[in-house]
Structure 1
Amino acid sequence: MGIDDDLGRIALQEKALQFDSFSLDTGWALGALLQDTARQRKLGVVIDVSLFSMPVFYAALEGASPDNPHWVRRKRNTVFRFFKSSYATGLTLAKQGTDLQTKFGLPDSDYAPHGGSFPIVVKGTGCIGAVTVSGLPQRTDHDMVVEALASLLGQDLAPLKLADH
């Protein structure tokens, strides 16, 4: 399984994992679901759910590092700029043999095209925010977010999962 396979599956995830509507309560429920999952699995992560207009949910769990909030901010900025998952952005750049600085003039200090941030999309409206996890390997951060979105939206996770490497 390669970059093209992952990009195809992520495109499917981004199409399937959209909301009919999204409220602050929905954002809180998404963050709480991620927090509960991380606690059950004893994962040291930072979790963030943010709309373009304001933060909705934030948690840092035992074992997270002081760097994780910065990764969250940079990954979230990447979703806010491109309206697609930070992992898809990174894979696309890798496939093209370039980076955000070279292609778009975006500094690494503010943007991170690494897995873990996923767009919050409302059908008929578009991207309104991002849900982000940081603290695990980037593919695992991405998978954790997709799992939570699928659960919250009542979607079958099996056809959405990235293939094992």
Structure 2
Amino acid sequence: MPPRRKLLPALLSCLVLAWSLLVSRGDAADTLEGPVEAEVLHVIDGDTLALRVHIWIGQTVDMNVRIAGIDAPELHGKCASERERAEAARDFLTRLVSGQRLRLEDVRNDKYGGRVIAEVRDTKGDDVAEALLSRGLARSYEGGRRGSWCPRDPKSQSTVKR
């Protein structure tokens, strides 16, 4: 076999080995304890932020971060009530964190990819999730199936006060 043809199988074997090592890593390697500082770029919705995360001296990465432990209504929800609640949650979160530096802890990969999940605190150390929960703008969420934000009676009107 010419040298080039011997190289291709060896290269493929190395790639397969590297992939299997990456895939088989334990969960511990998938969590960054933190704290990691970040600045707010914008609020995506009531439980997700676009942040510029400071990963090293002079090094940043822009990423979407879902706030751990909560579920907020969806902006493209199934009913008017959910959409109104989603806007209220997003607007409150925007007022709470815009222009601020935040601290991320217990950063881990999100099951959907493209973002991470983290505990988010402001510069005073206050928990952002707790601020949303205490105002009824989000509910506790630890994974699994999320409940509906829509009332059971489709004729019910929104209870969101502006």
Output the TM-score relative to the length of structure 2. 0.23
Larger strand fraction of residues: 2
Output the TM-score relative to the length of structure 1. 0.23
Larger helix fraction of residues: 1
Higher Cα Rg, which structure: 2
Work out which structure has the larger RCO, using CA pairs closer than 8 Å and 6 or more positions apart in sequence.
1
